[in-house]
Structure 1
Amino acid sequence: MRSLVNACLLLSCLSLPAIGNDYFDNVLSIIKPPHSHTAIFATNLVTGDIIFEQNPDTLLLPASTMKLLTAVAATSSLGSGFRFSTRVYSRFPIKDGVIAGDVYISFSGDPTLKGKDLRSLLKQLTEQGLYRIEGSLYLIGQANEQLQAPGWVWDDLGICYAAPVSNFVLNRNCVHGKLSPKLASSQSELSVAGYVPINITNTAVFDKTGVEKFCQLDLQRLAGNHFSLSGCYPGSQAIKLAIAITDPGLFMQESIRQILKSSKIQLKGQILIKHQLPTQTHLIAAHESAPLSDLLGTMLIKSDNLIADSLLKQLGTKIYQRPGNFSNGSRALKKILSGEGIMLTHAKIVDGSGLSRYNLLSARQLSQVLNLIYTDPRFSQLMDSLPIAGVSGTLKYKASFNKPPLFKHVIAKTGSMQGVDNLAGFISSENQDDTLFVILENGQSSLQKKQQQAPFSALFLHYLMDNTLAQESQSGSALTPSSPAN
């Protein structure tokens, strides 16, 4: 079967008449993965006609196509000018270079906050003449935070794409390191920047000769941002590590302690965490993130989980006027989208990123979100933030999307995790009408994925473009027939 699919891709076989579902039924009989659950929905955006649908109402794991919902809901509710803010307050004015009391830094969960931003905040204070704080420095964050959504895979939690979502976010709550083999030994050496306030015990080894049958690294997450790295890694080349912290509050405390040491401000008291800003304080410095439009651009093009779930919590805060979490944020997202006409009655929404294995959406529901993006001017900027096949984001290097006919013509959000390979977006070509599509594939065989020459979504889109072009050519709606030869 695989050789037949390859031949079809190279020779554009399956020259079947363009007769709607019969054409695609024949196509799917050849290209549909035998072990996967699939759902497809495709619409001509000019005529409004459904080109093809199969299992459009079957609920499947959306993975990162969930971010389309988050982007629309955030734009609708928060507004394109929304920014995360980190603010410094005090009860006392700066007098003779001193604040005669406590200072408070209020964190809002800015997923883009970096160490340089905190240094910039302190610089704002020194520019006002501050050089000493007589009291303590309180970090204001949410009490009893829900750092991960239900349904996040436990063994993903030590990896940075599943970093904890908190009011306290610094450097993406992620620590980068490098694991290198030692010379003339199977032992390894772990290097992490000395200023990063975490502790990692390393007993990992390198299997340089490939003698170990079962060789894999194991990262144990311990309390207090302590980790234990063990097991083995096959090969002899150094590898990069990206480790998600476990305690964001402690990480922020220790990081600010180090930043203060290199600043011109002396702190007499301690650095403590508090869950509510006292009354009768006044603002003395502030840092703001980029506006929502920029955050959504990064979220969609890079499939950024931390931005998505930080925005989800903001939706919970905005709609229900209480500290945001995954529960009220998901409910808020569903309420906002229902108000926009998206039918989510049977959908299951647990987070904003799509990391949770509890999320469930149908191809039809995703198509409604895409249609809103395409038709409503409020959301049109989201189109510019979607990856373009072979050009940008998560579609830049995806197999079969970096060459014709898909190259540059597919604009879509990917959604991938183990066993899941989804795609939802648009076909835009000068030679045919704009087309909306959703292709969901769940239960993907890892062996089949390894052996396949092209993803199922790429194969289907190839034939979708061929068939649509043929129909429009026959009807004369898109292509002008060539003149007869003289």
Structure 2
Amino acid sequence: MRKTRHYFVTAPSLAVAFLCQAPAWGNDYFSNLMGIIEPRHSQVALSATDLTTGELIYQQNADTLLLPASTQKLLTAVAATAQLGNGFKFDTQVFSHFPIRHGKIAGDIYITFSGDPTLTTDNLRDLFKQLTDQGLYEVSGNIYLVGEPGEQTKAPGWVWDDLGICYAAPVSAFVINQNCIHGQLRPKMASNESQLSFASYLPVSLSTSAVFDKRKQGSFCELELSRLANNTFHLSGCHAGDKPINLAIAINDPALFASKMIEQLLKSSQIRVKGKVKVSSKRAKYHKVIASHSSEALPALVETMLLKSDNLIADSLFKAIGKSYFGEPANFSHGAKAVEQILTAAGVDLSHSQIVDGSGLSRYNLLTANQLSQVLMLIYEDKRFQGLIEQLPVAGISGTLRYKAHYNRAPLKQRVMAKTGSMQGVDNLAGFISLNQTGKALFVVLENGQSPKTKHDQIAPFSALFLQTLLDSAPLSAKEEPPLDTPIHQNESVKRQTEAK
């Protein structure tokens, strides 16, 4: 007879104990537990599969379409690996029809931008250094910055009040420093007025009329960001407190931002340009590359995307997938159709789903727990994608699960490798869990419609309660800690060494 087990989820001055006597993967066991741990005011969908036996452990509302949030990045990772390949890189290149003679180019040069989400001003300085190292000091014509025609920089369904925040920065062929500017809003001495601090060389206009409610006396106090034309921003409203606020503001116009940044970089590059810096969508023919910069290869980009839940990388790859698949200009529509067709061809049934972007930011995305489970099973079984497992955040160790409450301690710490998916009202998790020394399961937990108050008052995330239920219902050996030579620990040993460097 199976022993009675005690299951505790702790919170400040609160303990909840679950007692049960049930065989492993007993459906009644889960049904009884759901009656206790399932949130009352939100909608959940669940699916869990034993990877050792292939047995379906439990599912609930598994065919209900819900917002995936950043679990959508699992689809992007698979489609990018399948379509672009591990050798894929974003290239930023300088072209010229005329050779460098006597330190001059007697015509125009073209800088083609590919939507590299990791491109920085330092990378662009290096491009110009490559030119000066070849002896170039004068361009007699113009410098054309070449991007995509009729560019779509925001996906349908992005929430309007996210657009000024850097996690929703515009996805463009022109990306410099993540299309994000950083600064600080500080209170003035002996006054409630505010002042801004940000790098003076940035080609943006940022002003403030905001005030600080230093004694927190107001009943309502909230800051508001106005996004105006030509990368102009204004902060107004109120902030409760007397401490400075760090700002991370997404630019409005990537092409304008790029052209102004290039103008500034040229001034310090010792290259004189007689013409102007102009933005174009057409590349002149019969030109050769005279300088270039490449991003890291796809596996490194995907690892950052999954670990940090980087939206800009996700949507840049999403658009690149569409461009590669259809041979058409990069946009969200082509990316959506390409990802759907790639995954369908790989055996994932995406019937009734809706794919809009690669990051999961769009409120129009819709996926089921079963569909995400199929993607996870594809990752687990197909050798092309198995490397993605080790790029997932590890509970209590790395990425978005490093500090997540109840994942940074036993029993879930180091046992869970999964992609988080969080936005207002959404708290999802999809990935893999080590049940014991040899057993593993894949799982999807989707929770939509969660109010901020409910989230604040909860004992623990519902996903954590469900995964602890999986551990409690597995064979008793599941209580053992994963040995140090499991893939999870091997993977993290490498990561810690890399981070130490």
What TM bracket, shorter-length normalisation?
A: over 0.9
Matches within 5 A, 1:94-243: 94-243=100-249
Partner of 2:499: none
Identical-pair percentage:
57
Q: Answer yes or no: is 1:386 the counterpart of 2:392.
A: yes
SS of structure 1 residue aligned to 2:446: strand
> Whole-Å Cα distance in 2 between the matches of residues 472 and 265 of structure 1?
65
Which digits, 9 at most, give the CA deviation of each residue in 1:442-462, with x for residues without a partner?
001211100112100001101
1:358-369 → structure 2 map (5 Å cutoff):
358-369=364-375
Q: Which residue in the other structure is 1:309 paired with?
A: 315
Kindly report the root-mean-square deviation, in angstroms, between the aligned alpha carbons of the 2 structures: 1.8
- 1:410 and 1:428 in contact (8 A); partners too: yes
Report the AA paired with residue 462 of structure 1: Q
Task: Tell me what 1:467 maps to.
Answer: 473
User: 1:288 aligns to what?
Assistant: 294
Report if aligned partners of 1:82, 1:292 keep a CA contact under 8 Å in 2.
Answer: yes
Structure 2 residue matching 1:259: 3-state secondary structure:
helix
Write the distance in 1 (CA, Å) between the matches of 2:110 and 2:392.
39
CA contact (8 A) 2:435 2:474 kept: no
Aligned to 1:404, what secondary structure does the other structure show?
A: coil
| Cα distance between partner residues in 2 of 1:374 and 1:410 | 14
Shift of 1:281: 1.0
SS at match of 1:411: strand
Q: Which moved more, 1:76-85 or 1:12-21?
A: 12-21
* Letter matched to residue 460 of structure 2: A
- Match of 1:334, SS state, is helix
Whole-angstrom CA distance in 2 between matches of 1:172 and 1:366: 29
| Contact 1:415/1:423 (8 A) holds in 2 | yes
Q: What displacement does 1:471 show?
A: 9.1
Letter in 2 for 1:164: P
Query: Is 1:80 the equivalent of 2:89?
Result: no
**Structure 2: gaps spanning 5 or more residues:** 1-7, 480-501
- Deviation, 1:214, is 1.2
2-structure distance, mates of 1:408, 1:141: 43
Instruction: Confirm or deny: 8 A CA contact 1:170 1:252 kept in the other structure.
Output: yes
Shift of 1:13: 3.1
Alpha-carbon separation, structure 2, partners of 1:10 and 1:55: 26
Which whole-Å CA distance do the structure 2 matches of 1:188 and 1:194 have between them?
17
Matched-pair contact (CA < 8 Å) for 2:435–2:478: no
Residues 6-15 or 451-460, more deviating: 6-15
The residue that corresponds to 1:484 in the other structure is: none
Alignment of 1:238-253 (within 5 A): 238-253=244-259
Matched, 1:323 2:329: yes
1:61 partner letter: L
Q: Distance in 2 between matches of 1:93 and 1:19?
A: 71
> Which residue matches 2:483?
none
C-alpha distance after superposition, 1:170-193 (max 9, x if no partner)? 000000000111111101111010
Distance (Å, rounded) in 2 between the aligned partners of 1:384 and 1:34: 34
CA deviation map 1:274-296 (0-9, x unaligned): 11101111111110000000000
Other-structure match for 1:479: none
- Asked whether the 8 Å contact 1:302–1:393 carries over to 2, the reply is yes
Match of 1:415 among 421, 435, 438: 421
Cα pair distance change 1:15/1:198, threshold 3 Å: farther
CA distance in 2, matches of 1:139, 1:42: 49
SS in 2 for 1:332: helix
Structure 2 residue aligned with 1:257: 263
Cα deviations by residue, 1:150-205 (Å, 9 ceiling, x for unpaired):
00000000000000000000000000000111111101111010111100121111
Deviations 1:333-391 (A, max 9, x none): 00111111110011100000000000000001001111111111111111111000011
What per-residue deviation string (whole Å, max 9, x for no partner) do you get for residues 390-423 of structure 1? 1110001111001111000011000000000000
Q: Partners in 1 of 2:478 and 2:163 — Cα distance?
A: 49
Contact 1:14-1:27 at 8 Å conserved across structures: no
Q: For residues 434 and 32 of structure 1, what CA distance do their matches in structure 2 show? A: 23
Q: Given the superposition, is the C-alpha separation of residues 470 and 287 from structure 1 closer, same or farther in structure 2, using an over 3 Å criterion? A: same
Instruction: Report the Cα offset of residue 7 of structure 1.
Output: 10
Deviation per CA, 1:102-135, whole angstroms, max 9, x where unpaired?
0100000000000000000000001111010010
User: Which residue is 1:456 aligned to?
Assistant: 462
Distance in 2 separating the partners of 1:4 and 1:407: 15
State the TM-score, normalized to the length of structure 2.
0.92
Return closer, same or farther for 1:386/1:349 CA change in 2, 3 Å cut-off: same
- How many angstroms apart in 1 are the aligned matches of 2:218 and 2:182? 27
Deviation readout 1:131-154 (Å, 9 max, x if unpaired): 100101000011221110000000
The number of aligned residues is 472
Taking a change above 3 Å as real, the CA distance of residues 333 and 317 of structure 1, as seen in their structure-2 partners, is: same
SS in 2 for 1:447: helix
Q: Counterpart amino acid of 2:284? A: P
User: Which amino acid is 1:398 matched to?
Assistant: K
Whichever residue aligns with residue 366 of structure 1, its letter is L
- Unpaired segments of 5 or more residues in structure 1? 474-486
One-letter code aligned to 1:194: S
Q: Do 2:24 and 2:475's aligned partners in 1 also have CA atoms closer than 8 Å?
A: no
CA distance in 1 between counterparts of 2:433 and 2:9 reads 27
Secondary structure of the equivalent of 1:52?
A: strand
SS of residue paired to 1:276: coil
Distance of 1:437 and 1:12 partners within structure 2: 21
Judged with a 3 Å threshold, the aligned counterparts in structure 2 of structure 1 residues 263 and 157 are, in CA distance, closer, same or farther, namely: same
Aligned counterparts of 1:274 and 1:17: Cα–Cα separation in 2: 66
- Once the two structures are TM-superposed, the CA of residue 17 in structure 1 deviates from its matched residue by 4.8
Distance 2:132 2:435 in 1: 55
SS in structure 2 opposite 1:246?
Answer: coil
